[in-house]
């Protein structure tokens, strides 16, 4: 198996609770259920919506990685939605990455459209560190990240996404993926992604693979091509790419915070 994100649990914000069977709760369930078809209809890129009247109004968004109309995108969204409903029975605000970084589902009792939100941060990395040529790894890494931040943040209003690879040693390449929610401006996206790079420096410098995810953007890197080379090209029935023998990933970071 590739890196598994088994420990992934939704992030539940501690910003208020609703009661079972309340109007807010029903609105939340309704809007979450409407996301998968609407995200698919938008090309798998991004969909945001709201439902109800204050104080029962719920805002939500759904997004698949790199824009993906395949079955995989819907499966991920449905997984994330079930995850949210099961793990957040009464939280007014929460988000889920669907367990494996293929999609994002988020809801709240406030509008977050166009907001740059860099906390809470979740970070995870592979136990396999780079043991030699670390200085070279750092140089190549920095140049790859620089390119990807610029490419992703220059995306359009439906997709701010970039992947790239660079030779590390004769036998190894570094692969990285960066994405922002596309409601961010170019400047916001770039700022968010630079913060993921700085988180990498703090938590995971020299680790051969891992991720940093924030409500507004994320970064993932590894020594194998974990991302889909071209989503629209991929057989929708094939399972996500995975490479045998990748070591397990440990997660760390804040899972809840108070505003």
What's the closest the beta carbon of residue 59 comes to ligand NAG, in angstroms? 7
21 vs 54, which CB is nearer to ligand NAG?
21
Summarize the chain as % helix, strand, coil (round to 5). 30, 25, 45
Beta-carbon-side half-sphere exposure of residue 233 (alpha carbons within 13 Å): 4
DSSP H helices, the chain, are 23-41, 71-87, 134-153, 186-199
CA distance 125 to 221: 9
Which residues would be at the binding site for ligand NAG (CB under 6 A)?
14, 16-17, 20-21, 34, 37-38, 48-50, 111, 113, 156-159, 230, 232-233
Kindly provide the b/e burial profile for residues 123-159, where b requires at least 16 CB atoms within 10 angstroms of the residue's own CB: bbbbeeebeeeeeebeebbeebbeebbeebbebeebb
Distances (CA, A) of 116 to 149, 162, 182, 184: 15, 19, 11, 7
Placement of tokens 């590390």 in the chain: 168
What's the closest the beta carbon of residue 30 comes to ligand NAG, in angstroms? 10
Closest CA to 177 of 73, 65, 63: 65
Structure tokens at 89: 């029975």
Contact (Cβ atoms closer than 8 angstroms) between residue 186 and residue 153: yes
What's the closest the beta carbon of residue 49 comes to ligand NAG, in angstroms? 5
């Amino acid at each position: 198996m590739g890196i598994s994100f088994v420990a992934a649990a939704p992030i539940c914000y501690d910003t208020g609770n609703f009661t079972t069977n309340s109007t807010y709760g029903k609105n939340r369930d309704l809007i979450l259920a409407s996301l998968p078809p609407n995200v698919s209809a938008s090309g798998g890129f991004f969909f945001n919506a709201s439902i109800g009247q204050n104080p029962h109004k719920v805002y939500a968004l759904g997004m698949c990685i790199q824009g993906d109309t395949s079955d995989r995108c819907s499966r991920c969204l449905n997984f994330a939605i079930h995850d949210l409903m099961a793990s957040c029975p009464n939280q007014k605000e929460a988000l889920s990455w669907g367990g494996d970084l293929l999609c994002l589902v988020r809801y709240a009792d406030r509008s977050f459209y166009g907001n740059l939100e860099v906390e809470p941060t979740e970070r995870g990395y592979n136990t396999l560190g780079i043991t030699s040529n670390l200085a070279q790894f750092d140089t190549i890494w920095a140049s790859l990240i620089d390119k990807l931040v610029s490419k992703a943040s220059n995306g359009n209003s439906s997709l701010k996404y970039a992947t790239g690879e660079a030779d590390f040693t004769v036998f190894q390449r570094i692969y990285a993926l960066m994405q922002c929610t596309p409601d961010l401006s170019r400047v916001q996206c770039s700022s968010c992604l630079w913060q993921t790079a700085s988180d990498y420096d703090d938590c995971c410098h020299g680790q051969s693979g891992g991720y940093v995810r924030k409500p507004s953007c994320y970064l993932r890197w590894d020594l194998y091509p974990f991302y889909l080379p071209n989503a629209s090209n991929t057989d929708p029935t094939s399972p996500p790419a995975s490479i045998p023998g990748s070591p397990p990933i440990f997660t760390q970071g804040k899972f809840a915070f108070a505003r």
